[in-house]
Structure 1
Amino acid sequence: MSAPPVPGRVVVYGVTGSGKSTLARKLAERTGLPCHSVDDDLAWQPGWVPVPDDEQRRRIGALVAGERWIIDGMFAKWRDIALPRAELIVALDYPRWVSLSRLVRRTVVRCVTRRRICNGNVETLRGILSGDSIIVWHFRSCAAG
């Protein structure tokens, strides 16, 4: 019996901190599919400047028009573009304490090490404590489903 064909268009979906990027990279390594980071490729410019919604929609449209890709997330503002093209959706649905603890740990480490993410941006203590922090966003993304 032969193995089923590997899907060529994959979305890894879940709340902030659920492990989407890690899983997407591992799937890309195993399948040879190109992996695209939603935060790096679509959402953020240097200086934590958000990419405008219409530009995000243009970028995701161009990306998912291809036959081979993995994306590590999906935003409601362009879900209607990506979902119809996906052959496989991997949903990560952990209890909040799991994803929140991963997110807090990751964010603190990035803040201390000043590791560059999202097109060269760095997380800061001020950012962690702000109303726009990734930790606040975690609760918003849980509520948004």
Structure 2
Amino acid sequence: MAGNVIYRGPVTTGWQPRTISDKTVAGAYLPGTFVEAGATTLIQLTTALAKLPMILTNMEFKDQDIDTAYASGDTGVAYHLEPGQIYQARLAAATYAKGAPLTIGAAGRLTAATAATPVVAFFDDTPGAYSAGALADVIIANTYTVPAA
């Protein structure tokens, strides 16, 4: 379900997601990708293993939309994740089923979780094939590791 914001809710609780906005981005990153906070920069993740993942959002107050990448060195804004919250996140190219467990892969994009990978979110959008970098709704998981088969 396409939308024009990264944070999708629920907004009826009066709760506002917590953000970090005092670090620059270490590359030309797109909103909807996963990052972590380094000492002075937001660094794009390629794994969820032993990480505190955050999701990069756009700077609405500067008229940046969700399809416009940050320039390296820009001050970034990223959400701290909380289980049960819904975000639009960028996906790796694949076919996704409703409720599919997802982990963080290359370019900070979500991909199917496999054995021994931490589940960060569940797919919550229209099932089917998605191209690399496409946005889709996901529900943040209470992270766990997929058990070996």
Higher helix fraction: Structure 1 or Structure 2? 1
Common topology (TM > 0.5) = no
Q: Which has the higher Rg, Structure 1 or Structure 2?
A: 1
